[in-house]
C-alpha cells in the first residue's frame, strides 16, 4: 500500500481507539476477530456486529464486545436478540437491509466476513465509506472483482486480505515495485483427501469432508478445501488483489500449512510468510495494520516440526482448481457463475442430496449452461448469481432423480 495510506492510519490510531465493525461476527473468522478485540479492549471501540441466523451467538458476542448496534440478518431472530440484549443499551435491528446499514456506518476498520455472495452488498457498503476493509469473503471478489476494485479506488478505501494465503502475499509483496515480481505462489494444504484415490472419493460423507486436518473453519469453506475449489477461488482472488495475470499465479500443495504463501522475484529471491495455522495471526495483522498487536496464536517451532514438504496439485483428483482457472480465463460473468453454482452444489452435498464428486461436475455443467455476460453493476452480478443458482438447483434435482449422476 502507499506510504500515504499508512501515514493516515497511523494518524487515526494516534487520536485514540480505532472504531471497528464485524460483518459476520458469529462465523469462525468473526469469532477469531472477537477474541483479538477482547484482548485489546483499550485499542478498539466496536460500533456494529452482524450475524445471519445465530441468535444466541450474536447476543453472547454483543454482551462481550458491547457494540452500539447488533444486527441479525434473519428477521425471525429479531425478538430473541432484542430480549437477549434487553437492558444493555445496545440497539438491535434485523433484516438484510439492516446489515447493509450497519456496514455503512462510518468506522476506521471493518471485518467483512459474511460467507458467500450474501456479503457482497454489505462489503460494498463498507467500501463506499472509505474505511479500511479487512476482507475474508473471497466469493464477493470472485463474483464482482472488477467492480469491487473500481469501487475501492473510487472511494479511497483500503482492502486488506484476511485469507492466510493472501495476507501472507501482502506481507512480502513489493507494492512499490510490482515489476520486480515474477510470480506469486499460493500454498494449499490439500485438505483431508490429499492422498485418497479418486475412486474412493465417491463415497465421502459430509462429516469426513468438513474434518480439515489443519484449520478450524465453517462447513462451506471446509468442503471447498476438500475439493480444492477454495484454492481455485483464491487464485481468482489473488488476480484481483495483486493485479497479477493467471499464468503468474501458481499453486503448490504444502500439507503442514506452515508456509502460507510465497512471492518470487525476478532476481531469483523467493520470500515467504510462515506461521502456525491459526486465523488470528492474519486477522491481527489487518486489525493493527500498519502496526502489529499481540495475538494468542501458537508460536512456530520449526525444530519441532522438522520437515516442510511440497508437491504439485493433482488436477485429475481435484478438477475444481482447473475449473477456476477456466472461469478466470473466460472472464466476464464466468467467475460469478462458477461461484454461485459451487455454493449450491456444496449446500446440496452437505444436505446429502448429491455426492462429493458431483460438486465439481455440477459446477462444470452450470458453467456451460448459464449466461456469462460481463456484469457492469452489482445488480448485474446479483441477477447473474440468481440465474446460475437456478441452473445449479435444476442440476441438483436431476442428480437426485438419478439423471446424469456421475
Distance in angstroms (rounded) separating the CA atoms of residues 280 and 295 = 7
- Say yes or no to pLDDT of 6 above 70: no
Q: Buried b / exposed e across 88-103, counting CB within 10 Å, b at 16+?
A: eebebbbebebbbbbb
Share of the chain residues as helix, strand and coil, in percent rounded to the nearest 5: 50, 15, 35
Among all chains, which residue has been given the C-alpha cell 520470500?
Answer: 271
Distance in angstroms (rounded) separating the CA atoms of residues 346 and 320 = 12
The full set of domain ranges for the chain reads 3-162
Confidence band for 405, pLDDT divided at 50, 70 and 90: very low
Of 24-38, 207-221, 371-385, where does mean pLDDT reach its minimum?
207-221
pLDDT in the model for residue 15:
55
Q: What is the rounded average pLDDT of the residues 69-85?
A: 98
Burial of 376 (0-12, 13-18, 19+ CB in 10 A): exposed
Confidence band for 10, pLDDT divided at 50, 70 and 90: very low
Report yes or no: 77 and 99 within 8 Å, Cβ to Cβ.
Answer: no
Residue 78 burial (CB count, 10 A): 17
Distance in angstroms (rounded) separating the CA atoms of residues 32 and 280 = 6
User: Taking the model in full, what pTM does it have?
Assistant: 0.89
Q: Which of 70-74, 207-211, 370-374, 397-401 has the largest mean confidence?
A: 70-74
3-class DSSP assignment, residue 70: strand
Q: Report the C-alpha dihedral over residues 14, 17, 20, 26, rounded to 10 degrees.
A: 130
Residue 402 burial (CB count, 10 A): 7
The C-alpha angle with vertex 101 and arms to 123 and 239, in degrees rounded to 5, equals: 5
Of 125-134, 227-236, 366-375, where does mean pLDDT reach its minimum?
366-375
Report yes or no: 167 and 285 within 8 Å, Cβ to Cβ.
Answer: yes
Q: What is the pLDDT of residues 32-74, one digit of tens each?
A: 999 999 999 999 999 999 999 999 999 999 999 999 999 999 9
pLDDT in the model for residue 215:
62
Instruction: Find the radius of gyration of the CA atoms of the chain.
Output: 21
Q: What mean pLDDT value characterizes the chain?
A: 92
The stretches of 40-119 forming alpha helices (DSSP H) are: 55-65, 78-84, 96-104
Residue 278 burial (CB count, 10 A): 19
Q: Which of left, alpha, beta for 87 (phi over 0: left; psi -120 to 50: alpha)?
A: left
Q: How far is CA 148 from CA 17, 125, 131, 154, 157, in A?
A: 28, 11, 14, 10, 10
Q: Determine the topology of domain 3-162 in CATH.
A: Rossmann fold (3.40.50)
pLDDT in the model for residue 137:
86
Q: Report the C-alpha dihedral over residues 54, 57, 59, 60, rounded to 10 degrees.
A: 180
Q: What is the pLDDT of residues 278-296, one digit of tens each?
A: 999 999 999 999 999 999 9
List the strands of the sheet with 44-51, edge to edge.
Answer: 91-94, 69-72, 44-51, 18-23, 109-112, 132-135, 158-161
Q: How far is CA 234 from CA 180, 188, 357, in A?
A: 22, 10, 21
Q: What is the rounded average pLDDT of the residues 342-365?
A: 96
Amino acid at each position: 500500500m502507499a506510504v500515504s495510506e499508512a501515514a493516515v492510519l497511523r494518524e487515526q490510531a494516534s487520536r485514540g481507539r480505532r472504531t471497528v465493525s464485524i460483518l459476520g461476527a458469529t462465523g469462525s473468522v468473526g469469532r477469531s476477530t472477537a477474541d483479538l478485540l477482547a484482548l485489546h479492549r483499550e485499542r478498539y471501540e466496536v460500533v456494529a456486529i452482524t450475524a445471519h441466523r445465530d441468535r444466541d451467538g450474536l447476543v453472547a458476542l454483543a454482551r462481550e464486545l458491547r457494540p452500539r448496534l447488533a444486527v441479525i440478518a434473519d428477521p425471525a431472530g429479531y425478538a430473541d436478540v432484542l430480549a437477549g440484549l434487553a437492558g444493555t443499551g445496545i440497539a438491535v435491528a434485523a433484516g438484510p437491509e439492516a446489515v447493509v446499514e450497519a456496514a455503512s456506518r462510518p468506522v476506521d476498520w471493518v471485518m467483512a466476513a459474511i460467507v458467500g455472495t450474501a456479503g457482497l452488498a454489505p462489503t460494498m457498503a463498507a467500501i463506499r465509506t472509505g474505511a479500511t476493509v479487512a476482507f475474508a469473503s473471497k466469493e464477493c471478489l470472485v463474483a464482482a472483482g472488477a467492480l469491487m476494485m473500481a469501487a475501492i479506488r473510487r472511494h479511497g478505501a483500503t482492502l486488506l486480505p484476511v485469507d492466510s494465503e493472501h495476507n501472507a502475499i501482502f506481507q512480502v509483496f513489493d507494492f512499490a515495485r510490482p515489476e520486480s515480481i515474477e510470480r506469486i505462489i499460493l500454498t494449499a494444504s490439500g485438505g483431508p483427501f490429499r492422498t485418497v484415490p479418486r475412486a474412493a472419493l465417491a463415497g465421502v460423507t459430509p462429516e469426513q469432508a468438513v474434518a480439515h486436518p489443519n484449520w478450524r473453519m465453517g462447513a462451506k469453506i471446509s468442503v471447498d478445501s476438500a475439493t480444492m475449489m477454495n484454492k481455485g477461488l483464491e487464485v481468482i482472488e489473488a488476480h484481483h488483489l495483486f493485479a497479477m495475470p493467471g499464468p503468474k499465479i501458481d499453486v503448490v500443495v504444502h500439507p503442514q500449512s506452515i508456509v502460507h504463501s510465497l512471492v518470487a522475484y525476478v532476481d531469483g529471491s523467493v520470500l515467504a510468510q510462515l506461521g502456525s495455522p491459526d486465523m488470528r495471526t492474519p486477522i491481527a495483522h489487518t486489525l493493527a495494520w500498519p502496526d502489529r498487536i499481540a495475538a494468542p496464536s501458537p508460536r512456530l517451532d520449526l525444530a519441532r516440526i522438522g520437515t516442510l514438504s511440497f508437491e504439485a496439485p493433482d488436477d485429475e483428483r481435484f478438477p475444481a482448481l482447473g475449473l477456476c482457472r477456466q472461469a478466470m480465463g473466460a472472464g466476464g460473468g464466468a467467475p460469478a457463475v462458477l461461484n454461485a453454482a459451487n455454493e449450491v452444489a456444496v449446500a446440496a452435498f452437505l444436505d446429502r442430496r448429491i455426492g462429493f464428486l458431483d460438486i465439481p461436475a455440477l459446477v462444470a455443467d452450470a458453467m456451460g449452461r448459464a449466461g456469462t455476460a460481463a456484469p457492469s453493476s452489482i445488480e448485474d452480478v446479483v441477477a447473474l448469481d440468481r440465474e446460475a443458482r437456478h441452473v445449479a438447483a435444476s442440476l441438483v434435482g436431476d442428480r437426485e432423480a438419478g439423471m446424469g449422476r456421475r
